[in-house]
Structure 1
Amino acid sequence: MSSSPSPRASWTRTLAGALLLAASLQALAAAPENSSAQALRATHQRMSDKLDHGSFGRPVQLDSMETPDGLQGDVYAVVEHPLSAISATLKGSAHWCGVLTLHINNRRCRTASGPQGSEMLTLYVVRRYDKPIDQAFELPFVYRVTNATPEYMSVELMAESGPLGTSNYRVTLQAVALDERKSFLHFSYSYDHNAMVRLGTMAYLATFGSDKVGFTVVGKTPEGQPEYIRGLRGLVERNAMRYFLTLDAYLAAPGPDQAERRQRRWFAAVEQYPRQLHEVDLDTYLALKREDRQRDGVAR
């Protein structure tokens, strides 16, 4: 006749089973995170030649496309910042307000608590930099840190509704450590628009905005100069690059009371690409941002 297991043996087996289950759950949780980091590193390796020999004067690559419902711009870059510094600087919706309001058309940003403990970020955007704040439209984003480890981080901002027939705004940042000093970033900016908005935007770009171009080279002019993409993809390329440069400027001066230093850095970066991004002189830009800070009583 077999004997029953001792209480000590039963407890040992129970403990071992619990530890095995915990280890399995931890491995399952880490798998998507590890795969995301590996995928971003693979993207860096695949793009290394383009990054090293691109036309931006630094390791940056810009892609754009018309999606079935809208537009998307993607910027890939190697930056001289360790991932730990990027994570510390860009965690929190208040920091992202500081990032996004470097853009000349973004005149105010407010944060608040959302449902179920989420963070909200509302951006106030004017159609032209010289329009007053009471003509700004609101973009209410939900802010989420979707991953944060010593090797990989990702942040997402999503707004379901936008102005004038636009919707599903999505801003994402992924970053992976390359070594102790450098990181590889993927910044993506996209939104949807309805058919009427698309036609209206195309009409504007074909007339009053006919001189506006993006960054993708599609040929050469009769004089042998680069011919840049125009139209809707040119539009999203300009905005994606402006927003990437806000990130870059904020990372370069992350501390408190650095607002004007970051603004000067953003403006200088934008002016490296005057054909695509020049709008105003430095004094005008700084005066607008100074007015915004004084009006809202913020130091960012």
Structure 2
Amino acid sequence: MNTSLAALLVRFGVWFVFGVAALGPLAAEAKLEAGSAQAMRDLERKHAEQFANGALHRPVVIDSAETDGGLQGDIYAIVDHPVDDVRRALERSAQWCDMMVLHINNRRCRATRSPDGEKLTLSVVPRYDKPIEQAFELTFVHRVVHSTRDYLQVELYAEEGPMGTSQYRVMLEAIPLGERQAFLHFAYAYDHNMVARLATMAYLATFGSSKVGFTVVGKTADGQPDYIRGLRGLMERNAMRYFLTLDAYLDGFAAPPPERADKRLHTWFRSVEQYPTQLHEIDLATYLAVKREDRQRDAASR
């Protein structure tokens, strides 16, 4: 299998963090428990011990699984932001765009309206140093399912993805935890055909063999944590990157409007670098230069 094809599939095929049972097969918790404030309160209690004693230096739990048709994942997290800020960040597709371009490989995002509802089109490059002309576009329909004082649920869906991937299903749930915190559940799933699966596995067995996820599956010979690899490791890395985009975007609300964009960039990069084994790719100066170029290009095109 061509390794360049495999690398592109890895970059393009598993970029998001969520999913919803109403749109297709997902993890058991997402299917059975998504959909109400009470179910979310039950999930928060279920993961309380992991939040308190986890190894991620923050109250975050990552779950991942392979399915017959693709991959799926869930992230559960407590964030130091009120649920009103979460709603403010995610109820409109334009805000999703602002959030997702924090990721190093997401070079552009456009929000539009259509008869089907709000849409956002994300341009993703195979590597951060590739030009925007090499980006693949992925278009999501955005829908707010529930928005009340005590429960928020938002969905995204893309029927087609790049190079053998399809049926991207995305969901965020949130409930308040007091006035200053929120409990979040991100669920995500997508399908891939056999060619895409084999290409991704070939990449992960060769050029991507050193890449790991966050789940600890044992200990190495020198007593260090042995992290999950392969397709689930890939899912977990992408899940964490996108959870950190949301957290950084929420963090920006504390800054004056003219300073928010830069604050979010610095926060996202600093958060990613807390997990160098899994997520390190470039230095801060390079990251900021890429995002500055994107900002100038988009401003010139308006």
TM-score range with shorter-chain normalisation? 0.7 to 0.9
> 2:34 touches 2:40 (CA, 8 Å); kept in 1?
no
Could you give the per-residue CA deviations for residues 272-297 of structure 1, whole angstroms, max 9, x where no partner exists? 00000000000000000000010011
1:10-159 to 2 correspondences below 5 Å: 36-116=36-116, 118-159=117-158
**SS of residue matched to 2:222:** coil
**SS of residue matched to 2:152:** strand
Deviation at 1:122, TM superposition (A): 0.2
**SS of residue matched to 1:222:** coil
TM-score with structure 1 setting the length: 0.86
Partner of 1:276: 278
Deviation at 1:256, TM superposition (A): 3.3
Question: Match of 1:292, as an amino acid?
Answer: D
State whether structure 2 residue 268 is matched by structure 1 residue 266.
yes
CA distance in 1, matches of 2:44, 2:160: 33
Partner of 1:208: 207
> 2:248 touches 2:264 (CA, 8 Å); kept in 1?
yes
Could you give the per-residue CA deviations for residues 117-156 of structure 1, whole angstroms, max 9, x where no partner exists? x001000001111111001001000001111000010111
Which structure has more RCO (C-alpha within 8 Å, separation ≥ 6)? 2
Partner of 2:165: 166
Partner of 1:194: 193
> 1:169 touches 1:192 (CA, 8 Å); kept in 2?
yes
Deviation at 1:188, TM superposition (A): 2.0
> 1:176 touches 1:184 (CA, 8 Å); kept in 2?
yes
Partner of 1:252: 251
CA distance in 2, matches of 1:85, 1:242: 20
TM-score with structure 2 setting the length: 0.85
Question: Match of 2:261, as an amino acid?
Answer: A
Count of equivalent residues: 265
In structure 1, stretches of 5+ residues that fail to align are: 1-32
> 1:175 touches 1:185 (CA, 8 Å); kept in 2?
yes
Percentage of pairs with the same residue: 62
CA distance in 1, matches of 2:126, 2:187: 21
The structure number with the bigger radius of gyration is 1
Could you give the per-residue CA deviations for residues 37-68 of structure 1, whole angstroms, max 9, x where no partner exists? 11011000111001111011111111101122
Output the aligned Cα RMSD.
1.5
Deviation at 1:91, TM superposition (A): 1.8
In structure 2, stretches of 5+ residues that fail to align are: 1-32
**SS of residue matched to 1:139:** strand
Deviates more, 1:189-198 or 1:142-151: 189-198
